[in-house]
Structure 1
Amino acid sequence: MESSQVTLKRTLGVAPVVFLGLAYMSPFAVFDTFGVVSAETHGHVPASYILITIAILFTALSYGKMVKLYPDAGSAYTYTKKTMGSKLGFLVGWSALLDYLFLPMINAVLAGIYLSASFPAVPSWVWVVGLIVIITVMNIAGIKITVSANTLFVLFQLLVAIIFVILTIRAIISGDGGTGFGLNPFFSEEISMNLLFSGAAILALAFLGFDAVTTLSEETIQPEKNIPKAIFWIALIGGAFFITVTYFMQVLYPDVSIFQDIEGASPEIAIHIGGLLFQSVFTSGALISVLASGLAAQTSASRLLFAMGRDGVIPNKWFGKVHPKLQTPVFNIIFIGVLSLSALFLDLVTATSLINFGAFTAFSFVNLSVIVYYFKNKQSMKGASYTRYVLFPLIGLAFLIYLWFSLDAMALGFGLAWFAIGLVYLTWLTKGFKVKPPEYEFVENI
Structure 2
Amino acid sequence: MQQTSTQSSGLKRTLSLWAIVALGLGYMTPTVMFDTFGIVSDQTDGAVPTAYLVALVVMFFTAISYGRMVRVFPSAGSAYTYTRETMHPGLGFLVGWTAMLDYLLLPLVNALIIRLYMTSLFPGIPGWIWVVLFVAAITGLNIWSLNTTSRLNFALVVFEVVLIAAFLVLAVVELSRGVGQGTLLTTEPLLHAGVEVSAVLTGATIVCFSFIGFDAITMYTEEAKDTRDVPKAIMLTLLIGGAVFLVSSFVAQSTFPDNSRFDLIDDPLPEMALLVGGKLFQILFVSAAFAATVASGLASHASVSRLLHVMGRNRVLHPVRFFAYVHPTRRTPVYAVLFVGVVSLLAITPSLELVASMINFGALVAFSFVNLSVIAYFVVSRREYRTGRQVALNVALPLVGFALTAVLWSFLHRDALVMGLAWTAIGVGYALVLRWTSGRSLSEFELDLSDGLDDDPDDDLDNDNLMEVNR
TM-score bracket for the superposition, by shorter chain length: over 0.9
Contact map agreement 2:314 2:447 (CA 8 A) in 1: yes
Alignment of 1:222-241 (within 5 A): 222-223=226-227, 225-241=228-244
Matched residue, 1:403: 408
Aligned equivalents of 2:390, 2:307: Cα separation in 1: 30
Matched, 1:436 2:456: no
Q: Does the alignment pair 1:412 with 2:417?
A: yes
Match of 1:351 among 352, 355, 362: 355
CA displacement, residues 28-61 of structure 1 (integer Å, 9 cap, x when unaligned): 1111111111122222111221111111000000
The alpha-carbon deviation at position 263 of structure 1 amounts to: 1.7
CA separation in 1, counterparts of 2:272 and 2:316?
A: 49
Other-structure match for 1:192: 196
Indicate conservation of the 8 Å contact 1:427/1:433, yes or no.
no
Distance 1:399 1:278, change over 3 A: same
- Whole-angstrom distance in 1 between the partners of 2:444 and 2:244: 42
After superposition, residues 300-315 of structure 1 pair within 5 angstroms as 300-314=303-317, 315=319
Whole-angstrom CA distance in 1 between matches of 2:128 and 2:174: 38
What is aligned with 1:330? 334
8 A contact 2:316–2:442 mirrored in 1: no
Q: Which moved more, 1:250-259 or 1:311-320?
A: 250-259
Structure 2 SS opposite 1:222: coil
SS in 2 for 1:257: coil
CA RMSD in angstroms comes to 1.9
Distance 1:380 1:174, change over 3 A: closer
Is the aligned partner of 1:280 residue 2:283? yes
Offset from partner CA, 1:136-174 (integer Å, 9 cap, x none):
111011111011011001000101101111110111112
Moved more, 282-291 or 249-258: 249-258
Q: CA offset at residue 125 of structure 1? A: 1.2
| Residue in 1 that maps onto 2:394 | 389
The one-letter code matched in structure 1 to 2:211 is: F
TM-score, normalising length: structure 1: 0.95
* Counterpart Cα distance in 2 of 1:45 and 1:183: 12
204-213 vs 408-417, greater mean Cα deviation: 408-417
| Larger displacement relative to structure 2 (381-390 or 141-150) | 381-390
**Given the superposition, is the C-alpha separation of residues 129 and 65 from structure 1 closer, same or farther in structure 2, using an over 3 Å criterion?**
same
- Letter aligned with residue 54 of structure 2: L
Percent identity reads 42
Report if aligned partners of 1:360, 1:400 keep a CA contact under 8 Å in 2.
Answer: yes
* Residue aligned with 1:312, SS: coil
Distance in 2 between residues matched to 1:163 and 1:304, nearest whole Å: 36
CA distance in 2, matches of 1:434, 1:333: 27
Q: Is the 8 A contact 1:15 1:230 kept in 2?
A: yes
CA distance 1:437–1:160, shift in 2 (3 Å): farther
The answer as to 2:71 corresponding to 1:64 is no
Maintained 8 Å contact 2:12/2:332: no
Aligned 8 A contact 1:139 1:295 in 2:
yes
Cα displacement (A) at 1:85: 1.0
Candidates 48, 53, 75, aligned match of 2:51? 48
Kindly indicate whether the alpha-carbon contact (under 8 Å) linking 1:5 and 1:324 is maintained by their aligned counterparts in 2: no
> 1:256 pairs with 255, 259, 273, which one?
259
Q: How much does 1:5 deviate?
A: 6.7
Contact 2:48–2:203 (CA under 8 A) maintained in structure 1: yes
2:222 pairs with one of 197, 201, 218: 218
Structure 1 window deviating more from structure 2 (317-326 vs 436-445): it is 436-445
Q: 1:263-274 to 2 correspondence within 5 Å?
A: 263-274=266-277
Distance of aligned partners of 1:326 and 1:153 in 2 relative to their CA distance in 1, 3 Å threshold = same
TM-score, length of structure 2 as denominator length:
0.90
Q: Residue 105 in 1 paired to residue 112 in 2?
A: no
* 1:208 matches 2:215: no
Q: CA deviation at 1:206?
A: 0.3
- 8 Å Cα contact 1:63-1:211 kept in structure 2: yes
Once residues 388 and 184 of structure 1 are traced to their aligned partners in structure 2, the CA distance between those partners, rounded to angstroms, is 36
Q: How many residues align?
A: 442
Residue 155 (structure 2) pairs with residue 152 (structure 1): yes
Aligned-partner Cα distance in 1 for 2:443–2:356: 34
Please tell me the residue identity of whatever aligns with 1:49. Y
List alignment gaps of at least 5 residues for structure 2.
Answer: 1-5, 449-460, 467-471
**How far 1:428 moved relative to its partner?**
2.9
Q: CA 1:397/1:155 → structure 2, altered by over 3 Å: closer, same or farther?
A: same
- Pair 1:317 & 2:321 matched: yes
